[in-house]
Structure 1
Amino acid sequence: MNLTVRNIAESCSEQEVREFLKRELGHYAKNVEVVDAGTPGAYATVELDANVPYVGDVIARQIQGKHLGGQPLEASADIFSDEPPPDAH
């Protein structure tokens, strides 16, 4: 399950974003990838260590609105993974 965090301030470095999210998410953050740090379209994808869909929504609500670099973050959980669906047979 992934968490996407948007509205990251241009003034924030990739390291700052990664450290902030790891601190806020604790053991739930398996992997943090920051894309286009220092640009207006910067965002982060966090691989969550949780298998229950509602946990991602709860975590997204916890991050939503927290401030990083003076801007409120926007967060959403992606309950779909890259794994293929189970065989229906």
Structure 2
Amino acid sequence: MNLTVRNIAPSCSEQEVREFLQRELGHYARNVEVVDAGTPGAYATVELDAQVPYVGEVIARQIHGKQLGGMVLEASADLFTDEPPPEQ
């Protein structure tokens, strides 16, 4: 499950964004990838360590509206993926 974070300030470096998201998400952040850091179109994708789809939406709500580099972040979770459901 992935989380997408947009509206990242151009003044933020890739490392700043990565550290912020890892700090905010804690153990839920499996992998953080920052794309186009330093540009107005910068965004980050976070691979979440969560098996229940709605956990991603709750996490997105926690990040959505937080400020980084003077900009208010926008976050959304992919509720559905192409991955098969976990075996029970």
Aligned letter for 1:54? Y
> What TM-score does the superposition give when structure 1 sets the normalisation length?
0.91
Partners of 2:79 and 2:29 in 1: how far apart?
Answer: 15
**DSSP-derived class of the 1:51 partner:** coil
2:12 aligns with: 12
Percent identity over paired residues: 87
1:49-88 to structure 2, matched below 5 A, reads 49-83=49-83
Unmatched 5+ stretches in structure 1: none
1:32-51 to structure 2, matched below 5 A, reads 32-51=32-51
| Cα RMSD after superposing both structures | 1.2
Report the number of matched residues: 85
Look at both structures and tell me which one has the larger radius of gyration over its CA atoms. Answer: 1
Unmatched 5+ stretches in structure 2: none
**DSSP-derived class of the 2:51 partner:** coil
Partners of 1:47 and 1:80 in 2: how far apart?
Answer: 13
Aligned letter for 1:64? H
Partners of 1:22 and 1:70 in 2: how far apart?
Answer: 19
> What TM-score does the superposition give when structure 2 sets the normalisation length?
0.92
